[in-house]
Amino acid sequence: MAELNETHDPALSSWVDSANGGASDFPVQNLPFGVFRRLGSQEAWRGGVAIGDQILDLGAAHAAGVFSAESARAAAACTQTSLNAYMAMGPAAWSALRLALSRALRKGSAQTERLRGCLVAQAQAEYAVPARIGDYTDFYTSIHHATSVGRLYRPDHPLLPNYKWVPIGYHGRASSIGVSGLGYARPRGQILRAGATAPELAPSERMDYELEIAVFIGRGNELGRPIPVAQAESHVFGLALFNDWSARDFQSWEYQPLGPFLSKNFASTLSPWIVTMEALAPYRKAWTRPPEDPQPLPYLDAPGLRETGAIDIELEVLLQTRRMREAGLAPARVSLGNFADSYWTVSQLVAHHTVNGCNLQSGDLLGSGTQSGPLPQQAGSLLELSRNGQQAISLPDGQTRRFLEDGDAVFMRGWCSRPGAARIGFGDCVGTLLPADPS
């Protein structure tokens, strides 16, 4: 786990004024990485760091000569169209660049004038998926989600016997992962309607979102060389927000015996910014396993994990229907949970994924699975909030929802705060459901 250092000091402020005062997701203590260019331009995609309502263009800053030695090599790697090369450099390089950025962006920095010309307003930027994602694995780490979904499908035995031993996952599809701001046509697929004896091909009628944390792998491992749980976090570059759009009607028909397929692979939405593991260091929590539950096998357990394995990230989902948008109404909260309620930690996912020798590569993405807490209002999907469509949820303008309707925009937000530390956030992860394309 990353150590606390001067970059986490809550007293730091930035010469970029919008980063100060606690309202921005991106104070100088955060410094998340993304890939951007000026909106509507044909400029090359390149790496940047969010600071307040601005982006520091890392290529321009590198050219301005504000970095030296290791931080300069690290910043040079960020000038490419994806962050894979930077992510592959490992924790020493990531820390060196973070420290250099923190010193350059804080109030009083001698670099202030040289860096002013390297800022691009976030409102005038567009984003790309920050890494070339070679492989994407989706886990199922919320026991509350697994239990309440299991109860809907198998009331007599909601949680399968392997759940408390194995971090359950499946291999997903990377090609359809997009970045925040996009719209997606309602997908078509096979639906078996209640009482019918044969399925038909139709647009999904049970469109849902899944609130997840995305884990970006930094350094990979060689084929045949598992990553021990105690070293797992040194292979993780950082976390983002992730909406794993799901068609529940396709899913319930297709998921046995091999798991989800076309119900999940038509779209997923990532937030533009990756918050690094070092930035998350102040918000770590003890990870516990209830004493009445089986304790993890030794390859999934370590003393450090028990002390600081969990991460305290508040996770919020908001909906804005087309009608709300037209009436100028803000998105409305439908759930608020916390990543610390996850049954398995990030390091356990990495250790389990590689225990058989499977090789992870820089830029690989692990989805946490839907994050739901123990309370009903902490559920990270409409499937749970509406109890599989049996009970509509109400929105502030009087509309109701069981599943998503055309024009609905799903907002996901995440943030960390605790006394003695700055509040940092992930930025918005937004996607809009569009009508099905004409068949």
Contact residues: Mn ion, CB under 5 A: 138, 210, 244
Q: Burial, 55: exposed, middle or buried (Cβ in 10 Å; 0-12, 13-18, 19+)?
A: buried
Instruction: For residue 10, give the 3-state DSSP assignment.
Output: coil
How near is the Cβ of 310 to Mn ion at its closest, in Å?
Answer: 20
Give SS3 for 424.
strand
| CB atoms closer than 10 angstroms to residue 7 | 22
> What are the C-alpha distances in Å from 22 to residues 14, 18, 53, 275, 290?
12, 9, 13, 17, 35
Q: Give me the least distance between CB of 259 and Mn ion, in Å please.
A: 11
CB nearer to Mn ion: pick between 138 and 249? 138
Residue 386 CB, nearest approach to Mn ion (Å)? 17
- For 145, counting Cβ atoms within 10 Å of its Cβ (0-12 exposed, 13-18 middle, 19+ buried), the class is buried
HSE, side-chain direction, 13 A CA sphere, residue 22: 7
How many Å apart are CA 330 and CA 409, to the nearest integer? 11
Smallest gap from Cβ 165 to Mn ion, in A, equals: 20
Catalytic residues: 145
Helix, strand, coil share (%) of the chain residues, nearest 5: 25, 25, 50
For the CB of residue 399, give the shortest distance to Mn ion in the complex, in Å.
Answer: 26
CB atoms closer than 10 angstroms to residue 370: 28
Smaller CB separation from Mn ion, 210 or 428 = 210
Write down the residue that tokens 């309707």 correspond to: 405
To Mn ion, the closest distance from the beta carbon of 268 in angstroms equals 8
Choice between 363 and 367, CB closer to Mn ion: 367
Distances in whole angstroms, Cα of residue 156 to Cα of each of 153, 159, 310 = 9, 9, 31
- Our CB check for Mn ion shows the closer of 25 and 212 to be 212
Q: Which is nearer to Mn ion, 57 or 138 (CB)?
A: 138
Q: Which is nearer to Mn ion, 45 or 253 (CB)?
A: 253
